[in-house]
Amino acid sequence: MNSFSSISAWSLISIITVLLVAMLVGNMLKKSIKVLNNSLIPTSVIGGLLILVVSIAYEAIFKVPLFNTTFFGGTNSEYDSSKLSILEVLTYHCLALGTIAVALKNSNQKLDKKRSGEIFDSGITTVATYLMQGFLGLLITVVIALIIPTIFAASGIILPFGYGQGTGQALNYGGIFENDYGFTGGRSFGLTIAALGFLSASIGGVIHLIFIQKKGLRNKADIESSNVLTLKEIQGEDEVSLYGSIEKLTIQVCFILITYIITFIIMKGISALAPGMETTIFGFNFLFGVLVATLLKVVLKFFKKKRMMKKEYVNNFMMDRLSGFFFDLMVTAGIAAIRIDILQNYWWIILVLGLVGAFTTFYYNRFIARKLFPEYSEEQFLVMYGMLTGTASTGIILLREIDPEYKTHAMNNMVFQQLPAILFGFPMMILATLAPKNPYLVLGIVFGYFVVLNIVLFRKFIFKKKKPTESVKATE
């Protein structure tokens, strides 16, 4: 008999509570242990690793996965690898919800030609780094697969999604490879790559911060005291009241969920028109979410212009908080969802991919920052390296160590580069889904696209205009 006293009625609450408590414990450890505090590892990563350790120990003792016990709504048996775990479901949805929250934010900043160029270059840098990571990752696993045929040759293409885009997308592509192409453990493979990305961002970022401190370039301020918000930053102009007849936070959540349910309906419709592509289409939930959010913003602006809506309903401050919540939950759940036991044949490959991804991303972005952003190269490098090995929040954590008040353009570059990054990055997303069918062809196309984008990126140096020669003096 079902009742509210049954475990099934409490299982989801139990899982979310464990994830949030793990983050709180992780935060306490980070604050109290100097090594962790100096490491800049995000609290969500520490929380996820804590749960992962406890899960491994629990399964070793009781022979049952922790999150498949009856307390968490499971069957008290081994996981069915063909089904998604609740942690993977949370990771998947939190990616889209967090991205939608960011996409719904209002932006009225006007940009001049120079700033537009810097933002464009930031977006191209993002995609070019994806391509570099994808090419190297795929090259490594293709070569290994020639020696060890049991290795899934296309697995290396997941590197840019674990490093460049984070936990949610790594899970999505690992799931596509697992469901459609038989890559056993694909989801855990992707999640593990993403976890290594966070460690690469933190360790590489700390090493570089120590380096620039020795050069006298780092003047770290008290970040917490510099983060005092003004009322204007919390409550924008012409917005609905903070204490109205409906809670303002409720309005923000409403917009996010409306956007997401419309996204679901659109993906279902496209899937019906393209049989066999459903897994791939639903793997792009975050991208469809961004497109729907952009359309919703256009509709809201139209209503405001026609005076059908007298107040602004979207609040940037609250959308930031909500996106932060969803991304924290996504990272913690994603790391906790890793299945160590099904990766025994891939551990050394994952470590090789992780090291190659870390070093090449570090030096490639360092070179770009120095060449294209000489006025604030250190800030641009840190925010891009952090984002392209972890997430946007990791990049912000690194940036705040040397630019706590965001006086340089690095922060804005990261925020506004999303549009060119999505436009130029979309082919990479499609190519990745084709990699299992023909990894050699995809390898060649990715390399070619990488070369093209680098020509675009360094166009000012490659196509440098010659100075006009002095006019030849007339002969007597």
3-state secondary structure 84-126: CCHHHHHHHHHHHHHHHHHHCCCCCCCCCHHHHHHHHHHHHHH
Q: Using the predicted structure, report yes or no on whether residue 135 has a pLDDT greater than 90.
A: yes
- Residue 150 counted as domain residue: yes
- Residue 13 counted as domain residue: no
Residue 286's domain comprises 81-220+241-461
Bridge partners of 247, per DSSP, are: 243
Residue of 213 and 123 predicted with greater confidence: 123
By mean pLDDT, which of 73-77, 356-360, 427-431 is the weakest? Answer: 73-77
Mean pLDDT of the chain: 85
CA distances from 56 to 45, 65, 67, 281 (A): 16, 8, 11, 33
Confidence tier at 467 by pLDDT (50, 70, 90):
low
* Predicted pLDDT at 469: 53
- Residue 37 counted as domain residue: no
Q: Using the predicted structure, report yes or no on whether residue 107 has a pLDDT greater than 50.
A: yes
The burial class, CB within 10 Å (0-12 / 13-18 / 19+), for 192 is buried
pLDDT in tens, 315-324: 888 998 998 8
Q: How many helices (H) and strands (E) does the chain have?
A: 21, 0
What pTM was estimated for this model as a whole? 0.80
Under 8 Å CB-to-CB from 317, ≥6 apart: which residues? 229, 233, 234, 235, 236
The alpha-carbon radius of gyration of the chain (Å, integer) is 24
Check if the beta carbon of residue 154 is closer than 8 Å to that of residue 126.
no
- Residue 65 counted as domain residue: no
pLDDT in tens, 190-210: 989 988 988 888 888 888 888
What is the rounded CA–CA span in Å between residue 404 and residue 386? 15
Cβ-based neighbour number of residue 78 at 10 Å: 12
Residue of 174 and 411 predicted with greater confidence: 174
Nearest alpha-carbon partner for 49 in 13, 74, 87, 23: 23
- Residue 236 counted as domain residue: no
Tokens in use for 86? 């609740």
Under 8 Å CB-to-CB from 164, ≥6 apart: which residues? 126, 129, 130, 133, 388, 389
pLDDT in tens, 265-314: 999 999 999 877 787 788 778 888 988 998 999 999 898 888 888 788 88
Indicate the residue type of 240.
V
- Residue 303 counted as domain residue: yes
Tokens in use for 186? 């694909």
- Residue 347 counted as domain residue: yes
Please give the share of the chain, as a percent, with pLDDT higher than 90.
42
pLDDT in tens, 207-231: 888 888 777 655 544 444 445 566 6
Number of domains making up the chain: 1
What is the rounded CA–CA span in Å between residue 171 and residue 194? 9
Q: Using the predicted structure, report yes or no on whether residue 404 has a pLDDT greater than 50.
A: yes
For helices 316-336 and 248-273, what crossing angle results, to 10°?
60
Tokens in use for 401? 């160590």
What's the whole-number mean pLDDT along residues 414-433?
Answer: 85
- Residue 75 counted as domain residue: no
What separation, in Å, do the N-terminal and C-terminal C-alpha atoms of the chain show?
111
Bridge partners of 239, per DSSP, are: 312
